[in-house]
Amino acid sequence: MKIDYLKHRTNSKRRLKEWELNPFLFSFWQRLFHFERYEYLFSLAIPFLKLSGLYKRGFQHALNIRAHYLYLSFDDLPPAFKGFKILFISDLHADRNQQIAERLINDLKNLSIDAVLLGGDYRFKLKGFFNKAIEPIKKLKENINVRDGWYAVLGNHDPFEIIDPLERMGIHFLINENIELKRNGQSIWLIGLDEEHYFENADYQQASLGIPEESFRIVLSHANDALLKIPSKNGQLFLCGHTHGGQICFPLIGPLLVHSRLPRSMAIGMWQFNGILGFTTTGVGTSGVPLRFNCPGEFVIIELK
């Protein structure tokens, strides 16, 4: 498969949406008051958490990444793609906790899969260098056997510059773009949307250009907010992350924060919205504090039937 690495550089308007440059955008204020910008406030609670023993427990829970298997049936799936297996990973935040990254690499070593989909947020920081986030992804790529390629979208933590080193590894970014996957003369289409929750730059119309109307479509997006820009029943499967499932969930109450404009029930697991079947993963890494409670991190293996 020939990949045009420069295509999305010319059609993305992401740079015009940078929150630092435009305080008149709603996304500026969302990011300004986002809890991840005030990590130092969470650090104030760390002594109490350590004294109570909760910190150690939450840290261990964050390391316990699970494998989440989904077997999804679609009447209109092209027969050539029956049994097609996808590895879906989101919210690595690989520079935040190296132990989590190492655990993931070990769990997936020698896995054979048809395609890998990466849902964004490769680094933890919102600014600055991202070198520490690159190496774990490189190791991950070296240890998985993939038949039909690696595909990715950007998250709200990811600068545009992170595309270049990851594409040089052979990871194909889709920035409001699509790509056709072929088997035995049949096709499915993968659509990748730019980040919507903060950058407000998902463009489904642009991303679906050239796709035949009755085609089987898988939509990859960092956050489920992009659904608000997708017409009803456009896409058989929508995959996203961003919410971490709440990361810290309380019995009966559930997560306190999910950072989504859509119903809280769509912040984790399977759901349906406007005739589209979707799945929100809890992700791999952590934000705010490196802890999880009642919400394990995960990688997802999806088999299409």
CATH of the domain at 71: 3.60.21
Contact 86, 51 (CB under 8 A): no
Q: Is residue 38 very low, low, confident or very high in pLDDT (cuts 50, 70, 90)?
A: very low
Does some domain include residue 69? Answer: yes
How many folded domains does the chain comprise?
1
Does some domain include residue 4? Answer: no
Does some domain include residue 2? Answer: no
Q: Which residue has the higher pLDDT, 195 or 30?
A: 195
Mean pLDDT of 257-263: 88
Is the pLDDT at 46 greater than 90, yes or no? no
Does some domain include residue 73? Answer: yes
Does some domain include residue 108? Answer: yes
Q: Distance between CA atoms of 154 and 220, rounded to whole angstroms?
A: 10
Q: Distance between CA atoms of 182 and 92, rounded to whole angstroms?
A: 29
Is the pLDDT at 41 greater than 80, yes or no? no
Task: Quote the domain boundaries for residue 209.
Answer: 23-304
- The CB density around residue 25, as the number of other CB atoms within 10 Å, is 17
Mean pLDDT of 240-246: 95
Does some domain include residue 12? Answer: no
Does some domain include residue 35? Answer: yes
Mean pLDDT of 216-238: 95
Q: Which residue has the higher pLDDT, 165 or 53?
A: 165
pLDDT of residue 21: 47
Q: Which residue has the higher pLDDT, 16 or 114?
A: 114
Does some domain include residue 165? Answer: yes
